[in-house]
Amino acid sequence: MTTKRPLVIVTRKLPDAIETRMMELFNCRLNLDDSSLSQLQLIEAVKTADILVPTVTDRIDARVLSQAGPQLRLIASFGTGVDHIDLASARQRGISVTNTPGVLTEDTADMTMALILAVPRRLSEGERLVRAGRWKGWSPISMLGHRIWGKRLGIIGMGRIGQAVARRAKGFGLSVHYHNRRRVAEEIERDLEATFWEGLDQMIARMDIISINCPHTPATFHLLSARRLKLIRPHCYIVNTSRGEVIDENALARALAEGEIAGAGLDVFEHEPAVNPKLLELDNVVLLPHMGSATIEGRQNMGEKVIINIKTFVDGHAPPDRVLEAMF
């Protein structure tokens, strides 16, 4: 990078304190009205930016990157997932990519645990009943759900967030099981009292609650396919706070409607912000607007990581949160 302040283009509104600090450090172009940029606007941004700061809502695909100017050398993504960025195209063009790992772990695990509680206990249904003025008072058989104490929880993806979910689940008396690409260290298994399943099919067929905590990659697209959803027992609940693309959403909606799966708690959707209309019709589903990481503290921490990654890169050093290091 040159000694002049780099042009940093930010695609969405960030916390005020983060934007103020970025303005102090860099030649920064902000998005003050927080409107999502169109593909054409993203193309215009990469033509002029030295550094682009996108979020998960921005599709930085091959078409966008093909128009990038030679000065674009860093994409400092505001978020953990990078499935919205075409990493192969970025590598080919010599563009480094960073993310903000770690800071969202506890927030997302909290939301996962909230959904694990909310769906079996029918919290969303009960809240709607009260607001609609249809609650007639306490009854011995009214709004009966299921306790989670003593149930089996199957975690798909035992990374930072999966382990944080397991710690919470253990405190609520759940028996923790997990499937992961690689088995975690023995001391982690022992601490979490977690049982490893090498076969995903075998695990999900025996669980009472399934929590999806793996990233979206080509290998995990529709990981819970129509075939796999058929393996899940009718009393089981599914919670997803990772990425909507991991589940075949149409197949899930059908299974829920036909009573093949007891319920679901979804914070993410396959075609966000669109929500499958079949899911909207179901009472046994809790639907949230991708708010698993939506805490003030988390967003502040994300912004601070973005600034550190940019500042380190501008100073000629390797950013701490490299997902992709440019080849030239």
Indicate which residues carry an active-site annotation: 243, 272, 290
Per 3-state DSSP, the chain is made up of helix, strand and coil in percentages (nearest 5) of 35, 15, 50
> How many whole angstroms separate alpha carbon 17 and alpha carbon 25?
13
Contact 234, 261 (CB under 8 A): yes
Contact 289, 268 (CB under 8 A): no
Contact 161, 213 (CB under 8 A): yes
| CA angle 189–192–196, rounded 5-degree value | 40
Letter for the amino acid at 184?
V
Contact 52, 28 (CB under 8 A): no
CA 168 to each of CA 16, 113, 175, 197: distance values in angstroms, whole numbers, following the listed order: 32, 7, 11, 20
Helix (H, G, I), strand (E, B) or coil at 209: strand
Quick one: residue 173, left, alpha or beta (phi over 0 = left, psi -120 to 50 = alpha)?
left
> How many whole angstroms separate alpha carbon 16 and alpha carbon 26?
15
> How many whole angstroms separate alpha carbon 239 and alpha carbon 223?
14
Q: Is the peptide bond between 273 and the residue preceding it cis, with omega within 30 degrees of 0?
A: yes
Helix H or strand E encompassing 155 = strand 152-156
